[in-house]
Structure 1
Amino acid sequence: MQDRPIFVIGCPRSGTTMLQLMLHSHPRVAVPPETRFLVPAYFGRRKYGDLREEANRRRLAEWITNGRDTKFRELGLDRAAFVEQAVAGPGSLGSVIGTVFRSYAARFDKPRWGDKRPSYFKHVDILLRMFPDAQFIHLIRDGRDCVASLKEMPWYHLSSFHAIANWAEAIDFGRRSARRLPKGSYYELRYEDLTADPESELRKLCGFIGEQYDPAMCEPQHVAQVAVPAHKVWHSNTHGAVTTSRAGSWSQRLEGWEIALAEEVLGDRLRQHGYALSGAPKAAKEHVSAYKAAAAKRRAARWRKTNRDRINRLREPGPVAALLTEGQRKLAGLPPRELALSAGGA
């Protein structure tokens, strides 16, 4: 049976929460609300020291449970019990973090876990460092709809130029992941296809993750109360049946200049993913320049973070890769867990 971690990625407002709920509706898979601790824990790993030492695992586990922004409280887990499980587990960064998700899956008596955060599309490489057997599902939605939806979010405070650049990034990172990841590790599907024919798309998706399709996946609204925190009112649509009503609504929600700019700078990417252009007039030069400036600013920020991480990799205090699943143990050269236990090992 499969036990590989599953990560849902994509541009924000592309339907990743709906897909999270569809996966969580499967009898063998649990996908929690966004946790907010995985990437910060990775980039802050040096301050926790060598996680082969129990005291350091405890410090990291306690930060996960008590950190102001980690959202552990939304998982419905016992803090003390998780800390002790992490301390007793394997000594690596991925193992401590993976223990959170494994505990969440156990809460629902499920053997397999996933995680969803749209911005993970930028961090596939570090996710693979922590979970080398991971599978990635990239949900793609018409970029114009993503931009229109981002503009309406109470938490989004950037410009339309940044929103357009965000979708371009998601597509470009997806292309790179498709080229680089081993077979069976990366899968793309379109939001529009998923909402138009959920059963067919979910059957294909289940084939990718190695699970049997379950009809409950087509009715994700039944688990929304459990897997979507009540304060996230912008996810209210997930409490209803899957619908195609929002697909293509960008034509009423975007201003004319935004449509023109999106189609000019995203045109090739939109067409390659099956999205027809409206024939909007050429974008104004000042809008194209503002988009390029926003995109350049985002690239520079990523470049700085990437370079800092390259330096940190030279000075890592301890192991990063998780040793929780059979695939992770095999990649690390360890025997299957049953053999290790019978021999008195970990």
Structure 2
Amino acid sequence: MKTVFIFGCDRSGTTMLADALGCSKSTLVAPEAQFVYNLMDLDLLDIKLNNEVINKYILNDFRYKTWEIHLRKYDIEQAYNSSGYKGIVELIIHTYANKIDRSAFNCWIDHTPTSYQYIAKILDWWPDSKFIHIVRDGRAVFNSIKGLDWGPNNAFCGAKFWSEIMFATLRVEKLLNEVVLRVYYEGYLEDNEAQLYNICEFLEIKFESSLIKGGGLEKPNFTKGYHKLVGEGVDKSRAQEWRNKLTEKEIVTFNSNFKVYYLLEKLGYVMGAKGEECNFINSNLNMLHDKFINFLNRFKKYQSGRY
């Protein structure tokens, strides 16, 4: 089984790209797989499989449940005895493939944005893996995320959030060298056919016209609100939508961070006005505001049974 991992900052298009690549007859795209990386942690810590691990980290894991598959404890134990935690993951992948009638696939594509944090373990389990790093203008990322019930909700914290992840992913990209391909979200929207052709060539999978429209991912119910545009085809106007939706103050505040400003420039984005960096008091007020709103959002999720 070939393995491909699409990573990047949240709201940068990892799911959009996976949705397109999932239309290939040779690929399998499932919902995000955070539980896989939890199992990698257990493997790293040399924690042996037991009933508590099976229940907490697999059968009762929220992300695992979004795959809507049913495994017996016996089968999980057999997979572990054969190939450790990697064996369990591959059992889950193949079980999902059978569920959606894609048992003939030969390439699993994961689009969990944070997979870049587990590169060493990924290459330990699947040494021939390939990676795609998708990059999006940080101001567009903030515009996409600020209205959700998670993530940063003001421009100061949005800039901090995006830049910290971008520096981490760029370091990983440099480390991976020839087995990673950088894709720009904006370039993909401009000409997704040409971009997909290049991606397929890099991944050594056959380009098929069905990839252009997308629709290769069965979205879990709980993410349909977050990913309502995934599978609906590309819309070039979305690339610059942030310019009309963010206020001038938000844009200037985002650009005011010294490292953010030059990171945007390094990545080839048009800069715009740059304000003065926030002082100590305003920085902390922004972070306190962000934490308060996130607390309210988590409380609402808890009340609704979603957290």
**Cα distance between partner residues in 1 of 2:127 and 2:152:** 34
Residue 202 of structure 1: how far off its partner (Å): 0.5
CA distances 1:10-58 after superposition (whole Å, capped 9, x unpaired): 11111111111012111111111113212222334478734xxxxx377
Residue 77 of structure 1: how far off its partner (Å): 2.5
Residue 206 of structure 1: how far off its partner (Å): 0.7
Structure 1 stretch displaced more, 88-97 or 238-247: 88-97
CA distances 1:234-265 after superposition (whole Å, capped 9, x unpaired): 21111422111211122222233331232233
How has the CA–CA distance of structure 1 residues 123 and 85 changed in structure 2, closer, same or farther, with 3 Å as cutoff? closer
Residue 135 of structure 1: how far off its partner (Å): 1.5
1:150 aligned partner: 145
Residue 180 of structure 1: how far off its partner (Å): 1.5
2:200 aligned partner: 206
1:24-63 equivalences in 2 (<5 Å)? 24-45=22-43, 49-50=47-48, 56=49, 60-63=53-56
1:82-161 equivalences in 2 (<5 Å)? 84=75, 87-88=78-79, 90-107=82-99, 108-109=102-103, 110-156=105-151, 159-161=154-156
Secondary structure of residue in 2 paired with 1:30: strand
Residue 139 of structure 1: how far off its partner (Å): 0.8
Secondary structure of residue in 1 paired with 2:276: coil
How has the CA–CA distance of structure 1 residues 79 and 202 changed in structure 2, closer, same or farther, with 3 Å as cutoff? same
1:297 aligned partner: none
Quick check: 2:155–2:251 contact (8 Å CA) kept in 1? no
The TM-score with structure 2 as length reference comes to 0.80
Aligned residues: 279
Structure 1 stretch displaced more, 248-257 or 137-146: 248-257
One-letter amino acid matched to 1:84:
D
Quick check: 2:29–2:216 contact (8 Å CA) kept in 1? no
Residue 91 of structure 1: how far off its partner (Å): 2.9
Secondary structure of residue in 2 paired with 1:33: coil
1:72 aligned partner: 64
Residue 63 of structure 1: how far off its partner (Å): 4.2
2:267 aligned partner: 273
Q: Provide the identity percentage.
A: 22
1:324-343 equivalences in 2 (<5 Å)? none
2:182 to 188, 200, 205: 188
1:250 aligned partner: 242
1:216-255 equivalences in 2 (<5 Å)? 216-220=210-214, 222-224=215-217, 227-232=218-223, 233-255=225-247
Quick check: 1:9–1:120 contact (8 Å CA) kept in 2? yes
How has the CA–CA distance of structure 1 residues 206 and 119 changed in structure 2, closer, same or farther, with 3 Å as cutoff? same
**Cα distance between partner residues in 1 of 2:163 and 2:35:** 25
**Cα distance between partner residues in 1 of 2:118 and 2:157:** 19
Is residue 2:13 matched to residue 1:15? yes
Quick check: 1:29–1:113 contact (8 Å CA) kept in 2? yes
Runs of 5+ consecutive residues of structure 1 not aligned to the other structure: 51-55, 295-346
Runs of 5+ consecutive residues of structure 2 not aligned to the other structure: 288-307
Q: How much is the aligned-residue C-alpha RMSD, in angstroms?
A: 2.8
1:285 to 270, 278, 293: 278
Residue 117 of structure 1: how far off its partner (Å): 1.4
Secondary structure of residue in 2 paired with 1:139: strand
**Cα distance between partner residues in 2 of 1:29 and 1:191:** 21
One-letter amino acid matched to 1:37:
F
1:304 aligned partner: none
**Cα distance between partner residues in 2 of 1:132 and 1:163:** 35
How has the CA–CA distance of structure 1 residues 288 and 42 changed in structure 2, closer, same or farther, with 3 Å as cutoff? farther
Quick check: 1:30–1:113 contact (8 Å CA) kept in 2? yes
How has the CA–CA distance of structure 1 residues 113 and 277 changed in structure 2, closer, same or farther, with 3 Å as cutoff? same
**Cα distance between partner residues in 2 of 1:215 and 1:269:** 35
The TM-score with structure 1 as length reference comes to 0.71
Secondary structure of residue in 2 paired with 1:181: helix
How has the CA–CA distance of structure 1 residues 46 and 181 changed in structure 2, closer, same or farther, with 3 Å as cutoff? closer
